[in-house]
Structures are given as structure tokens and as C-alpha cells.
Amino acid sequence: MRIAIHQPQFMPWLGYFDKLDKVDLFVLLDNVQFKKNEYQNRNRIKTHDHWIWLTVPVSFSFGDLVSGVQINNQQDWRRKHLQTLLTYYGKAPCYREYQPAFAELYGGVGGSLADLNMATIELIRKIFTIDTEIVRASDIPGLSEEPTARLLDICRHFKADTYLAGAGGKDYMECEKFKAAGLKLLFQNFVHPEYVQINGPFIPCLSALDYIFNAGGDFSAIQRLNRELEVY
């Protein structure tokens, strides 16, 4: 079994779904510390001439795990998000086709950031017709708090034989420990597609929302560009 482990992000970028598409099981690492001003509660979308953050307001204390972070529903963020998407993508080719699904998602989210992120990942996964199973690390008992040991514990729990890491993983992972544990270690080598965006020059690495509203739900172009993985 090939497994990948990644923190749950809000409306992730295309590389996130490429990683999801390349494994048998994708584990959301929601039992790690929440980090403000990263991608756990926000992501980037394109404006008429640049990009902005689409941010979910949250209530948290320093040291809170992602699984425990609550959405600040005192702010009218759902309506603002949907209005922002209409403003910048209302004339995009595929906006009308996919907007209702996202409007339904916004109408159904509860109080947990982890639940919201899971819902956004599940929705985009379905749009891209990726059938990889997704589970949460917080549902797995007895995991180590040491980062590398935690990853190895998750791999052992699911009896995985191969671990797929992000391209930057080789810079901080203790790779030899995976080899010692009998795991084949692969690294993602994501090539970002260039597609027609409704406004201005092309900007890569935005939320997958940008691709969906501009180019639709066909994930095959990403798959064709990303067939190769780097073997450790």
C-alpha cells in the first residue's frame, strides 16, 4: 500500500490533489499544532490583476492542535467568500457549473476548521474524480509526538509499504529511518500545468478553485504532466 500524510489545508492547490491521486490512502495530519498564517485556514485566489487570500477566521490559543481549532462564526465569512468568488470568477468559463457545489459546502460547514478542510478536500476530490480514501490521523490511537516517529507509526498502523512525501520533504525528513523501517520512500515532483485564467497573466500555485472555475474538473492534464516520482 502506498500512503501519503499531509496537514489538512483549506481549498488546497493542485499539487495537493496530485499527491492525493498518487496514493492508495491519504492521511490528514490533524493532530499537529495549528500554525497561523499558513495554508490551514486560508488559500490564494486570483483577482483581476494579482492574488488575494481567501481566509477562514478562527479562534485558537497557542499550542492548539488543528483538530481542536474552531471557526469564528461571529464573522460573516461564508457570505464574503461566496461574494469574493462571484466577483473574481463570475465570468469564468466553468463558474456556473461548479459554483452551486461550493455554495452548498459553505452552507453546511460547522464549527470545526478540520471538518471544513475535510469537506473542501472531499468536494474537490470528487470534482476531479479521485477515489483515494482519506482518513484523519486524530482517529489513530497511540501515535508518537515526535514528527518522524509519528509518520512511521501511521505507516505501520495501515501496513503501508511505500510512503510518498512532498518534494521538500528531503530537506527535513530523516529519510534513513524510513528505509530502516522497511518502507520505500518516494518524493513528489509536481509540474504545475499552465491554463487560461480569466484575468491577467498566469499565476501558478493558487487554490484548486482557480483551476476548476477556469478549466473545469478534468484532472487528466495534471496526471499527464506528473507521471514520474523521485525514488529515494
pLDDT of residue 172: 79
- CA torsion angle 18 20 24 28 (round to 10): 160
pLDDT of residue 159: 97
Residue segments in the chain with a per-residue pLDDT below the cut of 50: none
pLDDT of residue 55: 97
pLDDT of residue 36: 86
Taking the model in full, what pTM does it have?
A: 0.95
pLDDT of residue 37: 86
pLDDT of residue 130: 98
| Helices within 76-161 (DSSP H only) | 77-89, 95-108, 113-127, 147-157
Q: Length of the chain, please?
A: 232
pLDDT of residue 119: 97
pLDDT of residue 232: 77
